[in-house]
């Protein structure tokens, strides 16, 4: 079954579930009327169905290669990218003054999810460019903005993100790339970066690298890191790509999946770079890109889940085994359970990602700190839960396909292999969970409490219409509140061992809330039936997770490294 972008579902969620009306009620986004948003999503969906989805398999079978130092991308990717760029899809939320559509990030997130569902490997390229656009918009000089933003926004040039080094992965502060002033306001960047997605590209006129490096005598750790823009070709006076910069792709990684996306080892050999933001402010500037990218990667996970789901559903509707009323395996209770589980989780993860985007849009439109705090709180949940759902859905997809799922021709395995990295890159899901219980609870749990207040108020209001479902969601929120209060009272070091179950429990409860809203909006339809399934079967997982969160840290840390090796 070919991928079909779920445009109608996005329209439903935006209109009824994730509070997007608050965004369109702001002056900044008054033009984003429901008709206009529906038209934009419909157009993006058509591109996904007709142009991007047909490229997905090619990206797996014929990934990018490096021939004599020259990168060659998957046949067809150049044309697919051109269609993305020409449609303006690189910068749906990009600034209008530099050529962007200026639409809410919520709409951009929906587009990102659909494009990732259609072709994850290709769409990673414009996704990284989007992050770079945002980082430059917030931290670059006017001169750099004027030169680079129009070209990145139009898709003429692409952007990358260079953090990782062999000794500096999750611990970015351990990086050692150097930046030495050239005396003319530019810097000479030297060092090796690994795992750089789309570190080269044969269908954009220039590749602009955002590179983290240290000035001579910089402080150790993250405080001594600065951010530099290092283009593959140095723009000449007219802004056109000029002489080649001193950098190269050393090799491409051989990966488990996502073969269409070249993952590069990069060597910077005194390459000319321009500082972005302040000296020592590299992490702050890069975080603008990373936060944008974290939500984007969460959307990648959900998109891949949707793709794997449609692919499995198509098979389940055709495959005959045993006797069922439908005549195919979709009639078997266990197959139905797997498919319903994925569909229900996709709604939960998609709604979390969209509501994170709504909070970001509201923060930008109103300047209110509460919205910014909500966005910050939801970002690690959107990233980790979205990608966990992506991985679990692709796994369920293989299972629904049975033995054929293990055979490459079916395509089920590609979803499984491609999506796996989304739980690792952009900060592993473990690091996301630590961010949630660490930095994001540093307000004493205020942002979490405000969210839980809203969930409880909403379930109170739903009690008259759907008493059992509303009561279950209210109760789950209350248990989560008690656990959150207890967690905030624990020393930071004790929180990390329970960070992952806490994040997942929070996502589960948020999922219950969004399912309840969907059921209220569609009380006799498929959304209500799916909500009943989620709330009675999947939401209870939070009880076990929160019991784990409440457990003392001592039991975990009592197991020594020697015990593990015994």
Ligand X SMILES: Cc1cc2nc3c(=O)[nH]c(=O)nc-3n(C[C@H](O)[C@H](O)[C@H](O)COP(=O)(O)OP(=O)(O)OC[C@H]3O[C@@H](n4cnc5c(N)ncnc54)[C@H](O)[C@@H]3O)c2cc1C
Binding site for ligand X (CB under 6 A): 161-164, 169-170, 195-197, 255, 258, 263, 421, 424-428, 430-431, 434
Could you give the 3-state DSSP secondary structure of residue 248? strand
Read off the tokens for 436.
Answer: 């949630």
Task: Give the residue with the Cβ less far from ligand X, 30 or 442.
Answer: 442
User: Which residues, listed in sequence order, are joined to residue 188 by a DSSP beta bridge?
Assistant: 180, 272
Task: Give the residue with the Cβ less far from ligand X, 133 or 518.
Answer: 133
- In the complex, the smallest distance separating the C-beta of residue 255 from ligand X, rounded to whole angstroms, is 6
CA distances, 321 to each of 266, 274, 317 (Å): 51, 62, 11
Task: Give the residue with the Cβ less far from ligand X, 108 or 500.
Answer: 500
Task: Give the residue with the Cβ less far from ligand X, 129 or 263.
Answer: 263
Task: Give the residue with the Cβ less far from ligand X, 314 or 430.
Answer: 430
Give me the catalytic one of 426, 454, 460, 494: 426
Phi first, then psi: give them for residue 188, nearest 5 degrees: -100, 115
Catalytic: 482? Answer: no
**CA–CA dist 277, 87 (Å, integer):** 31
Best CA proximity match to 227, nearest among 174, 281, 184: 281
How long, in residues, is the chain?
Answer: 566
Could you give the 3-state DSSP secondary structure of residue 443? coil
- In the complex, the smallest distance separating the C-beta of residue 200 from ligand X, rounded to whole angstroms, is 12
List for the chain the helix, strand, coil content (%; round to 5): 60, 15, 25
- In the complex, the smallest distance separating the C-beta of residue 438 from ligand X, rounded to whole angstroms, is 10
Best CA proximity match to 379, nearest among 402, 404, 352: 352
Task: Give the residue with the Cβ less far from ligand X, 12 or 496.
Answer: 496
- 291-325: string of b/e by CB count within 10 Å (b at 16+)? bbbbbbbbbbbbbbbbbbbbbbbebbeeeeeeeee
**CA–CA dist 549, 111 (Å, integer):** 35
- In the complex, the smallest distance separating the C-beta of residue 434 from ligand X, rounded to whole angstroms, is 6
Read off the tokens for 421.
Answer: 């990295």
- In the complex, the smallest distance separating the C-beta of residue 400 from ligand X, rounded to whole angstroms, is 26
CA-CA-CA-CA dihedral for 134, 140, 144, 146, to nearest 10: 60
Which residue, judged by CB position, is nearest to ligand X in the bound state? 169
- In the complex, the smallest distance separating the C-beta of residue 462 from ligand X, rounded to whole angstroms, is 38
**CA–CA dist 128, 266 (Å, integer):** 16
- In the complex, the smallest distance separating the C-beta of residue 165 from ligand X, rounded to whole angstroms, is 8
Task: Give the residue with the Cβ less far from ligand X, 294 or 343.
Answer: 294
Catalytic residues: 426
């Amino acid at each position: 079954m070919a991928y079909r972008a779920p445009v109608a579902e996005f329209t439903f969620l935006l209109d009824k579930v994730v509070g997007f009306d608050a965004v369109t009620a702001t002056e900044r986004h008054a033009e984003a009327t429901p008709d206009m948003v529906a038209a934009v999503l419909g157009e993006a969906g058509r591109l996904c169905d007709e142009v991007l989805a047909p490229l997905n398999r090619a990206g797996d079978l014929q990934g990018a290669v490096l021939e004599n130092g020259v990168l060659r991308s998957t046949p067809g990717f150049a044309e697919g990218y051109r269609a993305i760029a020409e449609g303006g899809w690189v910068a749906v939320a990009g600034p209008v003054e530099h050529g962007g559509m200026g639409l809410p990030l919520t709409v951009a997130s929906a587009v990102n999810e659909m494009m990732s569902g259609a072709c994850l490997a290709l769409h990673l390229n414009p996704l990284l460019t989007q992050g770079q656009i945002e980082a430059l918009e917030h931290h670059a000089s006017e001169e750099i903005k004027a030169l680079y933003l129009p070209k990145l926004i139009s898709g003429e040039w692409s952007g990358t993100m260079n953090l990782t080094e062999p000794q500096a992965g999750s611990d970015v502060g351990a990086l050692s790339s150097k930046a030495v002033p050239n005396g003319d306001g530019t810097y000479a960047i030297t060092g090796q970066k690994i795992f750089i997605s789309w570190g080269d590209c044969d269908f954009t006129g220039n590749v602009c690298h955002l590179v983290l490096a240290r000035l001579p005598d910089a402080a150790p750790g993250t405080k001594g890191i600065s951010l530099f823009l290092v283009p593959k070709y140095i723009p000449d006076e007219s802004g056109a790509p000029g002489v080649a910069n001193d950098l190269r792709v050393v090799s491409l990684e051989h990966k488990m999946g996502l073969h269409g996306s070249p993952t590069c080892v990069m060597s910077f050999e005194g390459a000319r770079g321009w500082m972005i933001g302040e000296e020592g402010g590299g992490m702050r500037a890069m975080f603008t890109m990373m936060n944008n990218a974290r939500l984007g990667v969460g959307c990648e996970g959900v998109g891949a889940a949707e793709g794997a789901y449609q692919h499995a559903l198509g098979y389940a509707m055709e495959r005959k085994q045993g006797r069922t009323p439908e005549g195919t395996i979709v009639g078997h209770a266990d197959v139905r359970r797997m498919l319903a589980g994925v569909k229900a989780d996709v709604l939960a993860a998609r709604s979390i990602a969209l509501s994170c985007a709504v909070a970001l849009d509201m923060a930008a439109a109103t300047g209110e700190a509460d919205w910014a705090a909500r966005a910050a709180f939801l970002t690690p949940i959107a990233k980790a839960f979205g990608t966990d759902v992506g991985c679990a859905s692709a796994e369920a997809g293989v299972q629904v396909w049975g033995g054929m799922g293990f055979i490459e021709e079916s395509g089920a395995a590609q979803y499984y292999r491609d999506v796996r990295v989304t739980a690792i890159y952009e900060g592993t899901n473990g690091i996301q969970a630590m961010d949630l219980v660490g930095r994001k609870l540093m307000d004493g749990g205020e942002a979490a409490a405000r969210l839980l207040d809203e969930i409880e108020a909403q379930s109170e209001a739903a009690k008259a219409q759907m008493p059992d479902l509303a009561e279950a969601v209210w109760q789950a929120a209350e248990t989560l509140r008690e656990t959150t209060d207890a967690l905030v009272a624990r020393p930071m070091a004790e929180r990390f061992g329970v960070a992952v179950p806490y994040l997942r429990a929070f996502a589960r409860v948020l999922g219950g809330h969004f399912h309840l809203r969907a059921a209220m909006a569609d009380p006799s339809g498929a959304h209500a039936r799916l909500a009943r399934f989620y709330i009675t079967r999947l939401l209870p997982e939070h009880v076990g997770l929160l019991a784990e969160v409440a457990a003392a840290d001592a039991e975990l840390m009592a197991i020594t490294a020697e015990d593990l090796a015994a």
